[in-house]
Amino acid sequence: MSAVTQDTAVSTGRVARAFIYLLLILFALFYLLPLYVMGVNSLKPLQEITGGNMMALPATWTLEPWRAAWSSAQIGVQPTGLKPYFINSILMVVPAVAISTVLGALNGYILTKWRFRGDTIVYGLMLFSCFIPFQIVLIPMAVVLGKLGLAGTVPGLILVHVVYGLGFTTLYFRNYYAAFPTELVRAAMMDGAGFFRIFWRILLPVSGPIAVVSIIWQFTNIWNDFLFGVSFGGTSQPMTAALNNLVQSSTGVKEYNVHFAAAILAALPTLVVYVVAGRYFVRGLMAGSVKG
Amino acid sequence: MPTPVQADLRTRLQDWLPRLVLAPSFATTLLFVYGFILFTLLLSFTGSRMLPNWTFVGFDNYQRLFGLQHWQIALKNIAIFASLYIAICTALGLLLAIFLDQKIRGEGVLRPIYLYPMALSFIVTGTAWKWFLDPGIGLERVMHLWGWESFTFTWIKSNTMAIYCIVIAAVWQSSGFVMAMFLAGLRGIDNEVLKAAQIDGASNWQLYRRIVIPLLRPAFLSAFVILAHLAIKSYDLVIALTGGGPGRSTEMPATFMYSYTFTRNQMGVGAASAVIMLMTIAAIMVPYLYAELKEKK
């Protein structure tokens, strides 16, 4: 997106511009508000929240809520903090993102450069799978994971996320490769290069931008998933399920400061990815899913 | 695209290799998506309770489903939520995009601020808004402490208003993303067209209403499809923000399906509700995808 110029033919008067700036800044405050609230209150002792003003900066700064959220808060019945769940999430996200991206790249390559009869139907069926409400697969998935002995395990969650991420990764790579000149691929075929060789030597070296999109998309979606985590996580629940567990727990005092610290911890990986590579993500998303 | 002339250059294996590589992905999709849809569809015609069982009961589950007040509430809520969520996100996204497109200084700072919520999970969004909207510690209390003693904001505790809290949080999360889609659309519009209209004496308002907004049609359509699909799937946000409460007042089809299937042991009814959800999404998505795929050929 940032590659596109800011040029516009529309001109606006002074008063109108002042109004526009005011509105834009007000909305910026609206979007920042929850982050600010989470941030400042995660650094306060509890009595400053229950007895004080949520918008105020801490009078006594403390990192104790963060420490508690990470290593000692009560999640369910165990006072483990979020640490083990963070590890679950990492163990789940990394392989699931890697596998679905590699398969998506191969699928996109085949669907654009090795077309066959019925490939549009194959693609259409995979594409539609991106948009199903996952409620429709919850029951059979529970049955199948149980039969495979994968219920409540990290490998089970990896399988689920790979399966329901394939549509998206295939979509991204297909649209990207569709714009790649097929003549180059044909020329390589003439020279006797095989299927994998063409992929490895010709397509892969130019796949950087779309790989970034696919990886960020999958990472964000899988890290943020709650429905599958809570349904099939069992004893290997991911971060989102643990956070919900912590916040909804009805026993004891509500430790708002710990909840906020935990929420930021759960959001941190995707926020970091977004800050570091968000630009490429939006740019690619526009090219991949909107214009098609 | 292999042609007969090239065929002899490759071995038979090479010919089949692409299809072999694609096969596992396609087979998994067929089984885990379409097979599972069929499974749930069949299940919705059985008397399954805690576990699947295959005694067929015809349309009983659907009849029971639509007789349940609980489901009626869920349908009413999704109608309120989806229409407000889609309308507000679209309006706000368009407004912000148009304003950001006026050679704004600091666009590079503002854009990521509008966009970052989409990187968060709905559980995080729900947690943040849950406490911010809580009258005991959040907005209402802040206003009282700032001296506005008569201020009340107890929507999240109210049977009739809690659904609007979900709208607020969901709009907060998604509107920046819609803004980015419209902004990309705006930046794709040829300036010559606008200049020509200006020479003809069009005002800014006319320019946007008559030329720019009609040109943004594809972005409107994409935004609608994405938002509609997010709305119907909404499960996490409801769980994190209100847990479906107070009482059952913010129950949605997604939370209904989950509780009937897994905690109330009414799997047949749960499956029927999932089928209704799928059919609603399919009614929106299939024509859209069909048009997209057709166009590309």
User: Cα dist. A145→A96, A159, A232, B32, B191 in Å?
Assistant: 16, 9, 8, 11, 55
Is B51 contained in some domain? no
Is A292 contained in some domain? no
Q: What does pLDDT average to over chain A? A: 87
Is B169 contained in some domain? yes
Contacts of B115 in chain A (CB under 8 A): 274, 278, 282
Domain count, chain B: 1
**pLDDT at B279 (0 to 100):** 93
| pLDDT tens sequence for chain B (297 residues) | 555 545 555 567 777 888 899 999 999 999 999 999 999 999 999 988 888 888 889 899 999 999 999 999 999 999 999 999 999 999 999 999 999 988 888 888 898 899 899 889 999 999 999 888 988 888 888 888 888 888 888 888 888 889 999 999 999 999 998 998 898 888 888 888 888 888 888 888 888 888 888 888 888 988 888 898 888 888 999 998 888 878 888 999 999 999 999 999 899 999 999 999 999 989 988 888 888 777 655
Q: Say which residue the tokens 């963060």 belong to.
A: A66
Is B23 contained in some domain? no
Task: Please name the residues between 141 and 200 in chain A that touch chain B, using a CB distance below 8 Å.
Answer: 141, 143-144, 163-164, 166-167, 170, 178, 182, 186, 189-190, 192, 194-196
Torsion of CA A20, B230, B82, B76, to 10 degrees: -160
Domain count, chain A: 2
- Phi/psi of residue B46, each to 5°? -115, 170
**Residue A26 domain boundaries:** 2-70
Is B53 contained in some domain? no
Instruction: List the CATH number of the domain containing B253.
Output: 1.10.3720.10
Sign of the four-CA dihedral A143, A147, A151, A155: negative
Sign of the four-CA dihedral B183, A271, B239, A169: positive
In three-state secondary structure terms, B216 is: coil
Nearest-by-CA chain A residue for B287: A128
Question: CA gyration radius for chain A?
Answer: 24
Clarify whether residues A33 and A79 are in a common domain. Answer: no
**Residue B231 domain boundaries:** 64-296
Clarify whether residues A117 and A141 are in a common domain. Answer: yes
Nearest-by-CA chain B residue for A46: B137
pLDDT digits (tens, 9 = 90+) for A126-173: 988 888 999 999 999 999 999 999 988 999 999 999 999 999 999 889
What pTM value is reported for the model? 0.88
Clarify whether residues A60 and A97 are in a common domain. Answer: no
Is A28 contained in some domain? yes
Amino acid at A200: W
Clarify whether residues A111 and A17 are in a common domain. Answer: no
Is B155 contained in some domain? yes
Provide mean pLDDT across the span A68-72.
88
Clarify whether residues A65 and A92 are in a common domain. Answer: no
Cα angle, residue A12 at apex, residues A6 and A13 outer, rounded to 5°: 145
Q: Which of A50, A70, A90 is the last residue of a domain?
A: A70
Q: Looking at per-residue confidence, does A64 or B38 come out higher?
A: B38
**pLDDT at A166 (0 to 100):** 94
- State the ipTM, two decimals: 0.85
Clarify whether residues A86 and A145 are in a common domain. Answer: yes
